Amino acid sequence: CFLLAISLFLNAQNYDESKAGVYTVPEALVLENGKKVKGAKDWEAKRRPEVVALFEKHVYGRMPGPPTHFAFRLLREDKQAMAGKAHLKEVEISVGNGVEEAKINVVMFTPAFAKKKVPLFLLINNRSARNTAPERDTLSGFWPAEQVLAAGYGIAAFQVADAAPDNKEHYREGVLRLFPETASAPDGMKAIGAWAWTAGRVLDYLEKDNEVNGKQVIVVGHSRGGKTSLWAAALDPRFAMCISNNSGNTGAKLSRRNFGETVQRINTSFPHWFADNYQAYNGRESDLPVDQHLLLAAIAPRPLYVTNATKDLWADPKGTYLALQLAQPVFNLYPEQSRLPARQPEPDQPYIAKPLGYHNRTGKHDMTYYDWEQFVRFADLYFK
């Protein structure tokens, strides 16, 4: 009973602004050797690779390159989907290393009347596959394909379970079978790394699809999927835009700010998400050589849209907006200048501008029609 009380105390999450703590985050524009980053070239040649390597080593785990075997086949096609408005494709991607093979299923719709290759939203789906069912018998705001198509975009999704089952007993059963060394290495990727790696493989396919503009693929994720969309975009510059919805801890929120979910809590609840090395930072966020603003910065200069929900304090809306602000100087090394408001935008007052956008939706932890409406508005700034 005493031990239980102690552990509840240690695991208690703070929701009191006055206890969010005082902290200094690693500087975006200073190299580990203390030298200043002089401009975009310096950022790209030196600091960005350093930042990505630090996230690999300490947080998400090392990322393997593309697989030695890659193939895809069309499982099903319907040119008359959605009452003739859409072209449906179900594609199976196979990735292998010569010994092991894993299969990723992709569902995608493109507008039937598109005159040229379309920009496309790719969802890393961590929720029920019903949300992305090709039959469209469960319509939900989590993946509002009809609305997204009507706006002139394609939409696709894959299930995280194909890439790595989301549980600590079985996460190795997907693409991680191709990389046996990663399973035991302290800096080996686990489920979130595997999901991000797989998003890159789906992009490999999308680049070959003759209805999709491979240079206009937007990677989208919610919550654990939103942590993954950030990591996928940071790693793979071919993603043209990133959307991270309610991503919270080890997503878009500052780890050092003591508010909502902590590193210890996430590593304890989800020991199969991050590299084993990350466990060393349980209760020691300030010792991390990175904080999450650097992950956002690694996406620059590509457009990034981040969201929160007012009732989702677990994901720390304020700490998320702060991270976005701290990433801004890196985006501003490039010609397209970001001018985020000094104060976090009020609930339901989306800030939609190039290259950084943000909103805090009234309501709970979820991804909804409202959220997607803003994603489309943000994407329209670039692709319309």
Q: What is the distance between the alpha carbons of residues 378 and 349, in angstroms, rounded to a whole number?
A: 13
317 binds ligand GTR (CB under 6 A): no
What is the DSSP secondary structure assignment for residue 158, as one 8-state letter? Answer: E
Q: Which of residues 83-142 bind ligand GTR (CB under 6 A)?
A: 126
Choose, from 223, 244, 247, 255, the residue flagged as catalytic.
223
Tell me whether residue 126 or residue 320 sits nearer to ligand GTR (CB atom). 126
Q: What is the distance between the alpha carbons of residues 246 and 321, in angstroms, rounded to a whole number?
A: 11
Residue 247 CB, nearest approach to ligand GTR (Å): 7
Q: Which helix (H) or strand (E) holds 222?
A: strand 212-222
Draw the binding track, 240-259, toward ligand GTR (x: CB under 6 A; -: no contact). Answer: --------xx----------
Among 145, 194, 266, 356, binds ligand GTR (CB under 6 A): 266
Tell me whether residue 172 or residue 224 sits nearer to ligand GTR (CB atom). 224
Active site residue 365: yes
325 binds ligand GTR (CB under 6 A): no
- What does the block give as tokens for 354? 């190039």
Closest residue by beta carbon to ligand GTR: 223
Draw the binding track, 200-239, toward ligand GTR (x: CB under 6 A; -: no contact). Answer: -----------------------xx---------------
Side-chain half-sphere exposure of 356, counting CA atoms within 13 A: 29
Q: What is the distance between the alpha carbons of residues 357 and 340, in angstroms, rounded to a whole number?
A: 8
Number of residues located near ligand GTR, criterion CB under 6 A = 8
Contact criterion met (CB below 8 Å) for 22 and 149: no
Side-chain half-sphere exposure of 382, counting CA atoms within 13 A: 27
Draw the binding track, 269-298, toward ligand GTR (x: CB under 6 A; -: no contact). Answer: x-----------------------------
Choose, from 69, 140, 286, 365, the residue flagged as catalytic.
365
Stretch that binds ligand GTR, among 151-159, 203-211, 261-269, 278-286 (CB under 6 A): 261-269
Active site residue 69: no
Q: Which amino acid is at 135?
A: E
Work out whether the CA dihedral 235, 239, 243, 246 comes out positive or negative.
negative
Contact criterion met (CB below 8 Å) for 190 and 274: yes
Report angle CA 255, 175, 109 to the nearest 5 degrees: 85
User: Which of 188, 156, 194, 143 shows the shortest CA–CA distance to 72?
Assistant: 156
144 binds ligand GTR (CB under 6 A): no
Q: Which residues are catalytic?
A: 223, 365
Q: Give the binding site for ligand GTR (CB under 6 A).
A: 126, 223-224, 248-249, 261, 266, 269
